Structure 1
């Protein structure tokens, strides 16, 4: 499979404390890969360096063969890397479809062309993205009254508007009911399979991780200790030593 993301010896230090220490990995085109680890393992720090919110202390990040280390988030986004966040950031005063239209206006560089007729721009295209995430029937509902799971699906539609080749999803099912978690990750897996989008995601729900990931990486204290398929990670002695307890693979909250 073609490599879309390569991370080489990534480090982030805060006053001598290594939050991320020598992390190297790759993500292939069309791969759904999980990055897991206990609270404070360095997952979100790693994500923030990949997307340009944080500058690495050392190491390099390559997207589609191009060195994007330290580039600004908007530049990385324009190159084809999308992101969703733990906490949704939709416009609550707008309808579902208006949120998607705003994302499309940004993608088409029309964000400063807002006028009385702006509500008509890219409406048909917006419906197609809502259909992708099974939200077309809620197109004209205000975001302020949506269930949290629906907001997460809307956020996914917004991220897809830029047609990313790589999507970073930070705790995509945080705060969702168990059934909604399964639906969202199955939807994500379908998008990966049908559109060839690569997805790298962090997650605290191990059922979601093991059910849908092609490969799983495990971070512990800023270091990558495992990288393999579900069976390899489950049977990895170091993972078992660090994380197994109470009869289940470790649990963590939605903060990293």
Structure 2
């Protein structure tokens, strides 16, 4: 049972306090949505969690081990994976090779010269691609895929690192409505199957309320609500600063 524990996290940029006093926990089996209006501090919070930014104060711990001050690569190796709003795949490489690259990196064999990389971990890559519905496109270059399919490949790549915690930054951005719901239904299934803990940001409220097990709402860098979807939906402060803008 893994747990991410965030305590009093704060980060400013000049005179702007992007994140202030943010505290929450994320446990195995949770699909936690981090929502809020533009400029609320969601991206900054994500970047603090995986080491791309260092907090001015506060702690981030995974299973009791402090992550603050560690590099993104080290935090990734410790079990914190991430997907990005703009897909990060190698366009000239095949779908399978993209996943194999992560598997090789995880096994610290990325620069081994004794065996062609394309032959290593192929079965494992194909199994991951089958789970996300992309095995039939394993040998196609990523550069020719539709955007929704790229999102599935990126999810397979994230799973290839065997994460305990998965951070998903706008996972359905740029996708058609039906594709959004399918991708998040797949993510929810993986949370249940693997005991993953997922924190995701999202602007589509149908996706959020349809799949999240819990919601965090940020406003001006501060958490103003933390709870199950039904409770957050009826929270008057949340309605005033965020959900009311959607109607």
Q: TM class, shorter-chain normalised?
A: over 0.9
SS of equivalent residue, structure 1 residue 128: helix
Other-structure match for 1:7: 6
CA contact (8 A) 2:51 2:70 kept: yes
| C-alpha distance in 2 between matches for 1:82 and 1:97 | 19
Other-structure match for 2:30: 31
Question: Shift of the alpha carbon at 1:246?
Answer: 5.9
| C-alpha distance in 1 between matches for 2:137 and 2:246 | 41
1:110-129 to structure 2, matched below 5 A, reads 110-114=109-113, 117-129=116-128
Q: Does 1:63 align with 2:62?
A: yes
Question: Shift of the alpha carbon at 1:32?
Answer: 0.6
CA contact (8 A) 2:164 2:197 kept: yes
- 1:16 to 1:108, Cα distance in 2 relative to 1, 3 A: same
Other-structure match for 2:171: 172
Other-structure match for 1:195: 194
CA contact (8 A) 1:3 1:26 kept: no
CA contact (8 A) 2:89 2:142 kept: yes
SS of equivalent residue, structure 1 residue 56: coil
TM-score of the pair, normalised by structure 2: 0.97
Question: Shift of the alpha carbon at 1:3?
Answer: 5.6
> 1:72-125: CA deviations, max 9, x gaps?
101111111100000011110011001111111101111011467221111111
Matched positions, count:
247
Other-structure match for 1:158: 157
Other-structure match for 1:78: 77
| C-alpha distance in 2 between matches for 1:155 and 1:26 | 25
TM-score of the pair, normalised by structure 1: 0.94
CA contact (8 A) 2:29 2:197 kept: yes
> 1:127-146: CA deviations, max 9, x gaps?
01101111101101111110
Question: Shift of the alpha carbon at 1:67?
Answer: 1.0
Runs of 4+ in 1 over 4 A off after TM superposition: none
CA contact (8 A) 2:2 2:164 kept: no
Q: Which runs of 5+ in 2 are unaligned?
A: none
CA contact (8 A) 2:169 2:201 kept: yes
Other-structure match for 1:228: 227
1:122-141 to structure 2, matched below 5 A, reads 122-141=121-140
Q: Which runs of 5+ in 1 are unaligned?
A: 249-256
Other-structure match for 1:217: 216
CA contact (8 A) 1:100 1:157 kept: yes
Q: Does 1:99 align with 2:98?
A: yes
